[in-house]
Amino acid sequence: MLSAAACSKPDNIEETTVPSTIIETTTVPVTENTVANPQRFRPIADITDADSVKTLIREWATNGGDCLNNTDITNILLIGEDYVDGSSRSDAAIIMSINRKTKSITLTSVLRDSYTYMNINGQDRFDKTNHSYAWGGPEKLVEVISANYKIVINAYAVVNFESFVQAVDEIGGVSVTVTDAEADYMNKTKGVSTFRSGQNVRFNGEEALYFVRIRKLDGEPERTERQRRLIKAYINELRSLSQEEKESAVASLFPYVTTSYTEFELLTLAAEAFSGNWLDFDVVSETAPSAENRRSFRGYKTYTGNLDIWIVDYIRAARDLQLLIYGKTNIMLDENHVSAIDLALESKY
């Protein structure tokens, strides 16, 4: 199992509790009176003295704040691995949050082009989030996302193209809702006329992979939505299988997935999923950061060059994600909150 290296989890913490003073509408400055009992998650203060984007996002990522955790909830980072110029990158990063208490699964795509701070072999770097995977593998990507969003990520699972195709074909394909624009794009780029639009378009593994890899039709938020749409279709397909077929489908994936789980942990998790009827849980689909907490900048100077990126208000974005997953937050917004977006618009890089 993983531990969040860039944010803390106090010893002997009561994992299912968050201070009652920290509620969804809190927007007041942190004072000594708001500090929680040390047996609970301590509040994380807003950053009000940063003079640049880099300073703000570095201080936020390295502030050592308590990452939220709950024994009823398991967060698994699903990583879709791509290869570019001989190096591997995370083409997709989706936090799958399994809530046993509410019987729900939340799929949250973390935008790969989010401009973020990371420490690579002792060196500070500011670049796209997915570059952390190329430089430090899945463990570094987990560390970066956990530090930005102040949640504990319990494990990761890496799926490459081969395993993706195998997973879909193993269950006989999936039925996906496809828009007219998506069908037209796939037909034009493939030079065929076989793809159609509709609510129940049947894809085999290769077709499903082509669908989730659509890039130039729109932008990153739309691409990540297609990825989550495919995962939901996969879950729906599993629901229609017999128990024996479900177990066979899951078992067939083990050789193709790289994960931080041990084989025993993975088998235990699969057994719990079947006995707890996780496939019947409601599935919620979201993006982090949301449209309200991000702004696009073209040709922004990063460690690897001038790139098109998202500047993110990580403090609000982290608070929103905590509320989405846990229904509670330990992040305190100052009444004079200033975001990285504000600083970028003022050209304070």
Given a cut of 70, whether residue 13 has pLDDT beyond it is no
Percent of the chain residues topping a pLDDT of 70: 87
Type of residue numbered 317: A
Residue 83 or residue 151, greater confidence: 151
- Residue-averaged pLDDT of the chain: 87
Tens digit of each residue's pLDDT (9 = 90 or more) over 104-156: 999 999 999 999 999 999 999 999 999 999 999 999 999 999 999 999 999 99
Least confident of 44-48, 84-88, 161-165, 241-245: 84-88
Mean pLDDT for the stretch of residues 60-65? 95
User: What contacts 121, CB < 8 A, 6 or more positions away?
Assistant: none
Least confident of 11-20, 47-56, 251-260, 280-289: 11-20
What band does 15 get if pLDDT is binned at 50, 70 and 90? Answer: very low
Name the token pair of 211.
């669908």
Query: What was the pLDDT predicted at 29?
Result: 36
What band does 9 get if pLDDT is binned at 50, 70 and 90? Answer: low
- How many CB atoms are closer than 10 A to CB 141? 28
Residue 230 CA from chain centroid, whole number: 15
Given a cut of 60, whether residue 51 has pLDDT beyond it is yes
Mean pLDDT for the stretch of residues 13-23? 40
pTM (predicted TM-score) = 0.89
Q: Which of 349, 146, 147, 166 is nearest to 248 (CA)?
A: 166
Query: What was the pLDDT predicted at 108?
Result: 98
Mean pLDDT for the stretch of residues 159-163? 82
Given a cut of 70, whether residue 86 has pLDDT beyond it is no
What band does 267 get if pLDDT is binned at 50, 70 and 90? Answer: confident
Residue 27 CA from chain centroid, whole number: 25
Mean pLDDT for the stretch of residues 181-189? 94
- DSSP-assigned letter for residue 5: S
What band does 31 get if pLDDT is binned at 50, 70 and 90? Answer: very low
Least confident of 157-161, 209-213, 302-306, 318-322: 157-161
- DSSP-assigned letter for residue 137: H
Query: What was the pLDDT predicted at 83?
Result: 58
Least confident of 19-23, 82-86, 139-143, 199-203: 19-23
Least confident of 36-45, 98-107, 228-237, 332-341: 36-45
- The torsion region of residue 123 among left (phi > 0), alpha (psi -120 to 50) and beta comes to beta
Crossing angle of helices 180-190 and 205-212, in 10° steps, is 110
Type of residue numbered 49: D
Given a cut of 60, whether residue 217 has pLDDT beyond it is yes
Tens digit of each residue's pLDDT (9 = 90 or more) over 288-319: 999 999 999 999 999 999 999 999 999 999 99
